[in-house]
Structure 1
């Protein structure tokens, strides 16, 4: 692999950042008998490695064979700038693990749907590749299992991870979609796109890129890559043709019946089509793929059915942390006029025109919580009028939804929690936010006779 010494035995390797991926990198480096050094804002207890602070002078530590950068660390961090001036290679934790992994590899990226598609792809190949493992930005860090005899790994890869990585030499890559996200880091949509496309081994004709018809036509087709490109979408001529009416996905190898696929929404049929193309490309048999479609359980907080009370179905989509994610999930949602949509949190820097168009198409009610009220309420209120409810937090908002439903003011059949915002104004993460929603649903369910 590019950037790597022939052996890390005894070599000094600096790990910048002590998060999940940084700790996994340290464990891998110790197993490979490298001289691992942790550079972090604070020392971590019970860690048997050398520690230095973020104000370290790299010249005092030379020679340094490699720096492994955690994805949360900015590319302009002083340690990274020092590394560039000293010509010290900087790699991601994923790239480090890749150098020691010998199995087949599928990588998944995109603005939305990465986690579901990573887990779903792993599920669909499990008959043909027993022991297939999902990891990366979901579940286990790659460094924690790259030395194990895993026949196939499916990695969720964020733009932050890819930005720090050189060629990963994947067998199959998936780019699901692209929308404005993380622009505080990437500065522009073009930079964000460039980070995402690092997943593609574009000059390798044996590599397969799976992507959407929209993204292919708008951007990727212009790049003239020599890898294979498999396209999913609803148009005739695609490599995977989605029919929402028939609930089928047609490829050159099979017509897959998705009637028993348990995840709702047209966006999840996109995820299924991408997973099927990736599974076919890696060598899974169509009959085995078909047999597994109906047994996928889905992931928590991603369009998760949360229960029913007072004749209302509740959907927990707390993983929706940007507008594109919410719109992807609800653009094909049936009976929007009978839906109470819960939005809010800390909004990202995204244009609001798509939100206005969606709400004007006929959503029933909206509860808006958190910091988003300041900028979103003036946009939503002229569209929904009295069908917009504001609340400081989710618990207060739930009480208002109950009152509106019980009084007969709001006649709805579903409550969808798809915030379209980050969670950090009120919660540690989207998981904590989703668990709070599930508790509120459970409490309401117990109140019903």
Structure 2
């Protein structure tokens, strides 16, 4: 394996799915390696799956192991600024992550996605486009499968979601195309400001044949990049939007590809995600016919603006993953509805200020349903809100009143812990009840 010449002692930091994938990968290499694992948790997840030949130090750091290593493979959750890693780096020990090991081993084309929001959707969407084209594709990284685990499947194309954490320890990943979707404040406890965070994400372009950036968020445009570049955005340039016979279309260089009304994903932000996915699909050799079939069929990841029912032109959309204000704002901005929006909000507000929603809601034909422990914090945002105790009660009322062209959207802007174990359980409850209630719509019309 290129890049491991002279390496004999490897220390893996952090167990779990990623750490186990690293250990498994290293054990399969032809060269013999002495592999040790350090996890500062007292009972690391996956400990029972660790081979007996691999020593484990749990509950603390082991500096003797670190300083004796030829290479350290650090979990994305461990910042390079951690004092123990700083000491190892100062001693001249190479520190990489699992994506860097993947980069040194992969022999097939790879495209990759980063950004503050929408990474998982675009990654999954490109994977679906590839499947529609009959390509044996592996989809993973920061979503789904660990990147190293996918190598054993010998896919013909890899689509990776990459977080800033993963990119910090990645230096030689060669990509057919890379996209940086957007930038907003996140992980400020790990980075020295927004620029530091963005620079970590910019590492995705280091060895990319094609860099794709967001024209509507120029912080995503690479600087000092000498390869090919293209972009996506809501004007008509490159991957953009045009109007044909009064209908909006996704377009490439002003040539129509598909009407945006045919995209199964909900929300204006997913129009942008679709354009980004189309750019990566073109770079990967996926034809527009296959890409459009995926766009028409793919209704999103579970709990992320996921269309879960559509009966007599009333759409029920599960956005339970919207556990904060920013996520709900993203779901609402640019909604294109012929009817009324029945919006379900509430739960555990975590002390947030929801006043920013007021201006967005003022521009929508909306009936607001406020439920749960902190539902009352939303009541002042609109005229005539409906306050109920539970999400189920809100859904019952929505089913009785929804008309053709309406949308029932769960995008609560709150955590679920007042009534559900997690946002997945909340979303599952919404899906189950939506599929029961959608038939009441027929009786109401």
Q: Deviations over 1:44-75 (max 9, x none)?
A: 12421210024233225542122222223344
Counterpart of 1:232 in structure 2 is 232
* In structure 2, distance between residues paired with 1:265 and 1:63: 52
**Alpha-carbon deviations, 1:401-444, whole Å to 9, x = none?**
535775x7999943211234556776665434422322343454
Q: Which residue does 1:133 correspond to in 2?
A: 138
* CA contact 2:317–2:407 (8 Å) conserved in 1: yes
Q: Which residue of 1 aligns with 2:21?
A: 24
Which whole-Å CA distance do the structure 2 matches of 1:241 and 1:85 have between them? 47
Q: Match of 1:302?
A: 304
Partner Cα distance (1:98, 1:269) in 2 = 31
> For 1:242-269, what per-residue CA distance to the aligned partner results, in whole angstroms no more than 9, with x for missing partners?
2476242221495312454322333222
* Residue matched to 2:223: 223
Instruction: Give the superposition deviation at 1:88.
Output: 2.4
Equivalent residues in 2 for 1:64-79, closer than 5 Å: 64-79=69-84
> Which segment drifts farther, 141-150 or 251-260?
251-260
| 3-state SS of 1:183 partner | coil
Shift of 1:181: 2.8
After TM superposition, list the pairs within 5 Å mapping 1:194-273 onto structure 2.
194-201=199-206, 207-216=209-218, 219-221=219-221, 223-236=223-236, 238-243=237-242, 246-252=247-253, 254-258=255-259, 260-273=262-275
For 1:76 and 1:390, how far apart are their aligned partners in 2?
Answer: 47
Residues 1:424 and 1:24: Cα distance change in structure 2 (over 3 Å): farther
Residues 1:122 and 1:192: Cα distance change in structure 2 (over 3 Å):
same
The aligned residue for residue 116 of structure 1 is: 121
**Aligned-residue offset at 1:90:** 2.0
Distance 1:310 1:257 in 2: 24
1:317-376 alpha-carbon deviations (Å, 9 max, x no partner): 2233444433333212234982232335666899866433212323624345678x3xx9
Q: Distance in 2 between matches of 1:304 and 1:127?
A: 20
- Following TM superposition, by how much is the alpha carbon of 1:398 offset from its aligned partner in structure 2, in angstroms? 2.3
The alignment's C-alpha RMSD in Å is: 3.7
Quick one: distance in 1 between partners of 2:437 and 2:300?
Answer: 24
Q: How far, CA to CA, are the matches of 2:231 and 2:48 in structure 1?
A: 48
Q: Distance in 2 between matches of 1:359 and 1:173?
A: 35
For the residue of structure 2 that corresponds to 1:143, the secondary structure is helix
Instruction: Using the TM superposition, name which of 241-250 and 265-274 deviates more.
Output: 241-250
CA distance in 2, matches of 1:7, 1:152: 30
Distance between the aligned counterparts of 1:210 and 1:46, measured in 2? 39
Q: Name the TM-score, length of structure 2 as normaliser.
A: 0.82
Aligned partner of 2:62 in structure 1 is 57
Alignment CA distance shift 1:356-1:84 (3 Å): farther
Matched, 1:153 2:158: yes
For the 8 Å contact 1:29–1:35, the answer to whether it is kept is no
2:343 alignment partner, SS class: strand
Give the structure 2 partner of residue 383 of structure 1.
381
Aligned pair count reads 431
Say whether the 8 Å CA contact 1:254–1:286 is kept in structure 2.
no
Residue correspondence of structure 1 range 394-413 to structure 2 within 5 A = 396-402=390-396, 413=406
- 2-structure distance, mates of 1:409, 1:153: 42
Give 1:415's match in structure 2, choosing from 408, 420, 426.
Answer: 408
Gaps of 5+ in 2: none
Q: Which aligned pairs between 1:333-352 and structure 2 lie closer than 5 A?
A: 333-335=335-337, 338-344=340-346
- The answer for unaligned runs of 5 or more in structure 1 is none
CA contact under 8 A between 1:19 and 1:70: conserved in structure 2?
A: no
Give the structure-1-normalised TM-score: 0.81
CA distance in 2, matches of 1:361, 1:46: 54
Alignment equivalent of 1:172, drawn from 171, 177, 193: 177
Question: How far apart are 1:390 and its partner, in Å?
Answer: 6.7
Change (3 A) 1:53 1:191: same
**2:95 match:** 90
Distance 1:134 1:273, change over 3 A: same
Contact residue 182 and residue 220 of structure 2 kept, 8 A = no
Whole-Å Cα distance in 2 between the matches of residues 64 and 337 of structure 1? 63
Once the two structures are TM-superposed, the CA of residue 134 in structure 1 deviates from its matched residue by 1.0
Once the two structures are TM-superposed, the CA of residue 113 in structure 1 deviates from its matched residue by 1.9
CA contact (8 A) 2:176 2:210 kept: yes
Q: Structure 1 pair 7/418, CA: closer, same or farther in 2 (3 Å)?
A: farther
TM-superposition CA deviations, 1:172-208 (whole Å, max 9, x none)? 111122222333433532232222222112xx5x621
